[in-house]
Amino acid sequence: QVQLVESGGGLVQAGGSLRLSCVASGRTQSIYAMAWYRQAPGKGREFVADIRWTAGDTAYEEAVKERFTISRDIAKNTVYLQMNSLKPEDTAVYFCASKPVGQARLSDWGQGTQVTVSS
């Protein structure tokens, strides 16, 4: 099992930037990929971005791909989400998650960090 702790959320004005961090601990050697999801009030959890832990390949949800950047620091067991040009519709709780090697689904989730973008 992998434990995940997010940080970096907060209140920012539209057009501003935030960088989220997610530190992994536990069975980190089993990580195949890490992802960021978000859940806005009254909505379901949606995919934001992911990154293959070793190869570094990335994928993004269409609405964020020109504004957000996912990256990782393997030595620090940390994944980041740099969010630029934030919009009020980016307001949500942001979660990181990990997918182990050999499994098709994300298996571990963090507790989430709130991002609020004011207009």
pLDDT at 104: 86
Can you read off the two tokens belonging to residue 93? 């709780």
List CB contacts of 4: < 8 A, sequence separation 6 or more. 22, 23, 24, 96, 97, 98, 108, 109, 110
pLDDT tens, residue order, the chain (119 aa): 999 999 999 999 999 999 999 999 999 999 999 999 999 999 999 999 999 999 999 999 999 999 999 999 999 999 999 999 999 999 999 999 999 999 889 999 999 999 999 99
**CA-to-CA separations, 36 to 3, 71, 78, 79, 88, in angstroms, rounded:** 15, 11, 12, 9, 18
Q: CB neighbours (10 Å) of residue 102?
A: 7
Residue 79's nearest CA partner among 38, 28, 45, 42 is 28
